[in-house]
């Protein structure tokens, strides 16, 4: 197990940004930058021992900062917050006070607003232990940053273990009542982009979905999806039923995880390479997004070039008291854990 640090670039405001490379003995290498807490690459072997990057990302900070990328921004590998996913109209109420967020996704606020956690420079600290190497990232989101209430102190711990697990542990505390919903927005393509992800095999541990309106905001209805195009409870190709949808999948699957235990949420596999990633989480939901708006950049990426499995609370929860709460009070600690298990079958 080892970890190394190198310069990744410099932000327009002058902050130096670093890239951290976490390596385990089994051929798994994870690269993370403290800009946006972004996972830039995950290298793993295929069934023939070929090691390739299986997530969408860039090799330089300048590419993440480029106007071309930001114009059609897909949040490659970033931590999204203060509230990931959508809030209807960018509006919510906490303790009788109304808050209006920045509108950046049709009529809604998405992934924290104009300048979310995905564009912040986090304070890094490396950790080396016998059975894992880790990177702890900290950030203070000040009161009314992006118009969210409260000073929020966040820490994220990335741990690469000798068991081929990438664990992501989130913690946050606030000095005023606020809302919090954090996720990592990594896109997977287990054949390293040689094809899109429509032939990947996907299983999601749920037979329900939150029903959305035309703006991808939940109506409040939780629908049974057995034997519908939305049903991945039995493993099937990602693209098997995608023609029945106008654009592809972008929806929340409730996991029935009321006790906040680390439970199996889903598994993505690719038969030609033998690679798979299994997702375990303490979160109550998982958002499947098949990347139908991923831009084509320098003849790379494009529609369906990657698939995101975002562990999180439900979209627009602050406006749905019947959903698991995303409200955080002073004296409480927000805690969330997601574990990605990388495997290769021969």
Domains and CATH numbers, the chain: 2-344 (2.70.98.10)
Give ∠ CA 118-126-172 in degrees, rounded to 5: 50
List, for residues 186-212, the tens digit of each pLDDT value: 999 999 999 999 999 999 999 999 999
Average pLDDT over residues 100-126: 98
The catalytic position among 111, 146, 310, 313 is 310
Query: For residue 200, how far is the Cα from the chain centroid?
Result: 19
Prediction pTM value: 0.98
pLDDT for 298 equals: 87
- In this structure, are residues 239 and 198 in contact, taking their beta carbons and an 8 Å threshold? yes
The catalytic position among 185, 200, 313, 320 is 185
Reported as a pLDDT band with limits 50, 70 and 90, residue 346 is: confident
Residue 167 scores a pLDDT above 90: yes
- Terminus-to-terminus CA distance in the chain, angstroms? 24
pLDDT for 305 equals: 98
Mean pLDDT taken over the chain: 97
pLDDT for 259 equals: 87
Q: Would you call 310 a catalytic residue per the annotation?
A: yes
List, for residues 266-281, the tens digit of each pLDDT value: 999 999 999 999 999 9
Q: What is the DSSP string of 21-68?
A: EEE-TTS-EEEEETBTTEEEEEEEE-TTS-EEE-B---SSHHHHH-HH
Q: Would you call 68 a catalytic residue per the annotation?
A: no
């Amino acid at each position: 197990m080892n970890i190394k640090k190198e310069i990744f670039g410099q932000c327009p405001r002058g902050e130096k940004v670093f890239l951290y490379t976490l390596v385990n003995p089994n051929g798994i290498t994870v690269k993370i930058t403290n800009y946006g807490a972004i996972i830039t690459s995950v290298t793993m072997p295929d069934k023939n021992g070929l090691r390739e990057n299986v997530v969408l990302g860039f090799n330089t900070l300048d590419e993440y900062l480029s106007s071309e990328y930001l114009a059609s921004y897909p949040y490659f590998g970033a931590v999204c917050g203060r509230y990931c996913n959508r809030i209807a109209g960018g509006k919510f109420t906490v303790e009788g006070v109304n808050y209006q967020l920045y509108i950046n996704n049709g009529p809604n606020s998405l992934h924290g607003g104009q300048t979310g956690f995905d564009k912040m420079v986090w304070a890094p600290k490396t950790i080396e232990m016998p059975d894992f190497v880790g990177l702890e990232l900290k950030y203070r989101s000040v009161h009314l940053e992006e118009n969210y209430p409260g000073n929020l102190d966040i820490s994220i711990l990335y741990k690469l273990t000798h068991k081929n697990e990438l664990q992501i542990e989130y913690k946050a505390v606030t000095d005023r009542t606020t809302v919090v919903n954090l996720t990592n927005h990594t896109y997977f393509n287990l054949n390293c982009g040689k094809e899109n992800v429509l032939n990947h095999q996907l299983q999601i541990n749920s037979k329900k979905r939150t029903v959305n309106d035309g703006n991808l905001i939940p109506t409040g209805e939780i629908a049974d999806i057995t034997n519908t195009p939305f049903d991945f409870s039995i493993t099937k190709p990602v693209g098997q039923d995608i023609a029945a949808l106008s654009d592809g999948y972008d929806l929340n699957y409730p996991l029935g995880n009321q006790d906040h235990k680390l439970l199996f949420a889903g598994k993505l596999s690719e038969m030609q390479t033998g690679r798979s990633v299994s997702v375990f989480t303490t979160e109550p939901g998982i958002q499947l997004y098949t990347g139908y708006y991923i831009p084509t950049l320098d003849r790379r990426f494009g529609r369906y070039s990657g698939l995101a499995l975002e562990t999180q609370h439900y979209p627009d929860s602050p406006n749905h008291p019947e959903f698991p709460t995303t409200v955080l009070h002073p004296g409480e600690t927000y805690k969330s854990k997601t574990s990605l298990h990388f495997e290769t079958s021969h």
